[in-house]
Amino acid sequence: MNRVPATKPPPPKAPVRKEKAPPVVPDLINDKDRGTQYEKGRFLGKGGFAHCYELRNKSTGEIMAGKVVPKTMLVKQYQRDKMTQEVQIHRELCHPNIVKVFHFFEDPLNVYITLELCARRSLMELHKRRKAVTEPEARYFTYQVVEGVLYLHNLKIIHRDMKLGNLFLNNDLVVKIGDFGLATTVEGDERKKTLCGTPNYIAPEVLNKCGHSFEVDIWAVGCILYILLFGQPPFESKSLEETYSRIRHNNYTIPANASQPAASLIRKMLDPVPMRRPTAKEVHRDIFFRTGFMPTRLPVSCLTMVPKFGHDTSIMEENVAPRGSADAHGHRPLTGRTALSTLPPHIVSNNADREKAQQQAAEATFREPDDAYLSQLFRQVATLLDHRLPAIDEEEAAQDDYQSPECLPVFWISKWVDYSDKYGIGYQLCDNSVGVLFNDNSRIMLDEAGNELTYIEKSNKEHYFSMKDCRDDTPQVLAKKITLLKYFRSYMNDHLLKAGEGAEQRAGDDLARLPTLRVWFRTKSAIVLHLSNGTVQVNFFNDHVKMMMCPLMQAVTFIDQNKRMLTYKFNHLQRNGCPEKFLHRLKYAKTMIERLMSDGGAKLAPSGGGSRR
Ligand SMILES: Nc1ncnc2c1ncn2[C@@H]1O[C@H](COP(=O)(O)OP(=O)(O)OP(=O)(O)O)[C@@H](O)[C@H]1O
C-alpha cells in the first residue's frame, strides 16, 4: 500500500532511532547456586538499565518478577558497585509496602534479581489514566507509602528516589516501594553530601548541595500526595531551570478546593527548611489519615475510573417514578451523575465524610470530557499518521524491547452479542463483568460476582445498587433490563470464546465503577466500540485481529492472530516505525474515530455482516 500520494515527491526516509541493545534472555533461566530454574514469561517493561519479565519457578510454580541487567551494562566497577549496593540494601527489607527481593544471581550473559510481582504497574500509570484522584484514594495510597517510608527510616535507610513510577501496585492494589538504586544508609547525624542521579521530586537542600538526610523522602511524599490530589506536580513548569527555581523559592499553590487536613499536611511536608518537616512517624499519625474515608481496599477499576463510595437504594429512572425520596436511613439520594447512599461495611466513617466523598466522586465524573476523550484520541492518531513512519518488520515490532506493556488497557471488551434489532448490545469486559447498551441509550452493568449493579440513564445519571437490594417492587422497566442483562450474560458464558484470554483478571469489587460501552457501530469489516473511560476498540471480522487505543496512555494494543498482545506508545511508533499491517489498521481506526465523533451520542448504525444473535 502506498503511504504517499504519487503526485508528491517522497519525503526523505525517516531515520530509525536505535534503542540500546536489549538483553538476550534465555527462555529457561538457571540459578545454579540454588539449583532453581525459571521459565521466562511475559515482558513487564524496561527502565533505565533493567528489563523486567514475569518468571515462573519451574519446581514450585511460583510467579514473580525478574529484573534482568545485561553484563554489558555493568562493565565499569562503579556500575557493579552500585548494583551490589542497591541489592544489598533492598534484599534485607521485609515489609508489606516494600517490593520483596527474593534472590540475586547471574549467568554468563546477565545479572538477575527476582522480585515480588507487582502486576498492576505503578502509581505513574494510575496518574496518567486518572490525573487527580479522590481524597479517599489519595489517603489510601499515601498512607501505605508512609508506612513503607517509616519502616525504612527506622532502619536508617533513605530511599532518595520516591516517585510515582517507583511505587508499584500488586493485584490487590497494595502499594510496594521499589527501585532502591539511589538508596543509602545513614550513620548517626550524618548529612549526605552527594547523590548520584537525579531524583524526580528533588528537595531544595539537594539542589543547594547543603547536605541532606531523611527529610528528602518526606519532601517527595509531599509531592506525591500533591500529584495524587491535584493531578500535577507542585513545581511543574515548562523548563527544568524554572522548576528548580520554583523549588528553591518554594513557589507552589494549593488549589482552593483542597480539604484543610490535606492542605495542611502538604504544606508541612513541602517546608523549605528540612528540619521543620515532620518525621515519617509524625506524618504517619497526621490528622489527614485519621479523618475522612480510608478504604481498606480499592478495586482494580479505580486504575481507570473514579470509584463509587456507596449504593443507591432509592432507584430513580427516567419514565419511572422514584420510590420515596429518602432511604431507610433517612438519606436522600443525590441527584446528578452519581447518586449514592448506603456505604459498604468495610468503610468506617461518619455521615459528613461519606457525603464529602460522594460529592468528590460526583465532581470528578463531571470533570470527564463529554466526548469521553474521543477528540483527544483523534488528534493523537491523526498526528501519528501525519508523520512518515519508518516501515519496520512485523516480527521486529513484536520484540519485547519495542513494546510498552505498562500501557496495556485495564479493561477491554472480550465478548459481545449484537441483539440491537430488538434490545441492544451485550458485552463482557475482560474482568468478566457484563453490560448492556440498550437501544434507548440507557446502560446497565453487573460486576463479575453478580452483586454490584450500575444503571446509567440516557441522560448519564448513574445509580448504583446491590443486587441484594433488588426487591419485588423494582420498577418494571428496570426489572426488565436486569432480566435482559442476565440473559445476555448466560448467553455469552455459554457460547463465546474470550478475546485476550489468559491476561490478568480480578473479580469486581463493591467500590468499583466499571467502564461502560458508550457508542458502537459495525461496518462490513469491523465492530467499533467506545468505552466510557476513553478506550476505543476495533475488532476486525476477517482475521480476528483486535486493537484497543487509549488516549490517556497515548498507546495502542493489538491482539494479533496468534493472540499475542502487542502494546505500543504512539510516540514510539512515530520515532521508531510501524509495521505496514498496523499502519493500515491505524488509518482505518482514524476514520472510525471520526465517525464515532460525528455519531456523537450512541447512534446505532445499521448492522451489516458479522455475528449476530
Ligand atoms: N516488581 C515488579 N513487578 C512488576 N513489574 C515490575 C517490577 N519491577 C519493575 N517492573 C517493571 O519493569 C520496568 C523496569 O523496572 P525499573 O523501572 O525498576 O527498572 P530500572 O532500570 O531499575 O528503573 P529506572 O530507570 O527507574 O532506574 C518498570 O517500568 C515496571 O513496568
* Beta strand residue intervals within 166-313, DSSP E: 167-169, 175-177, 184-185
Which atom belonging to ligand 1 lies closest to the Cα atom of 51? 14
Pairing between β-strand 36-46 and β-strand 28-31 as defined by DSSP bridges? antiparallel
Q: 405 CB less than 6 Å from ligand 1?
A: no
How many angstroms is it from 119 CA to the middle of ligand 1? Answer: 11
How many angstroms is it from 430 CA to the middle of ligand 1? Answer: 25
Q: What is the pLDDT of residue 97?
A: 98
Q: What is the pLDDT of residue 516?
A: 96
Residue located via cell numbers 446509567: 456
Residues annotated as catalytic (active site), given as ranges: 161
ipTM of the complex in this document: 0.96
Of 291, 298, 246, 293, give the one whose Cα is nearest residue 272.
246
Indicate if the alpha-carbon torsion angle 136, 142, 145, 147 is positive or negative.
negative
Q: What is the pLDDT of residue 80?
A: 79
Of 445, 317, 361, give the one whose Cα is nearest residue 136.
361
What residue's CA is closest to ligand 1, atom 11? 45
Best substitution site from 53, 64, 67 to test ligand 1's pocket, by max atoms within 8 Å of Cβ? Answer: 67
Q: What is the pLDDT of residue 24?
A: 87
What residues have CB less than 8 Å from 12, skipping those under 6 apart? none
Calpha distance 576→338 (Å, rounded): 43
Which atom belonging to ligand 1 lies closest to the Cα atom of 50? 21
Q: What is the pLDDT of residue 341?
A: 35
Kindly state the helix (H) or strand (E) to which residue 436 belongs, with its residue range.
strand 434-438
According to the annotation, is 67 in a ligand binding site? yes
Q: 52 CB less than 6 Å from ligand 1?
A: yes
Counting every residue written for the chain, the total comes to 613
What residues have CB less than 8 Å from 45, skipping those under 6 apart? 51, 52, 404, 405, 406
For the stretch 348-401, pLDDT in tens is 455 667 667 767 777 777 677 888 999 999 999 999 999 888 888 888 888 888
Q: What is the pLDDT of residue 246?
A: 95
* Contact criterion met (CB below 8 Å) for 244 and 180: no
How many angstroms is it from 280 CA to the middle of ligand 1? Answer: 25
pTM for the whole structure: 0.87
Q: What is the pLDDT of residue 497?
A: 56
Weakly modelled stretches of the chain, pLDDT under 70: 1-21, 196-197, 310-352, 354-355, 358, 366, 469-474, 494-509, 600-613
How many angstroms is it from 122 CA to the middle of ligand 1? Answer: 9
What residues have CB less than 8 Å from 458, skipping those under 6 apart? 318, 440, 441, 442
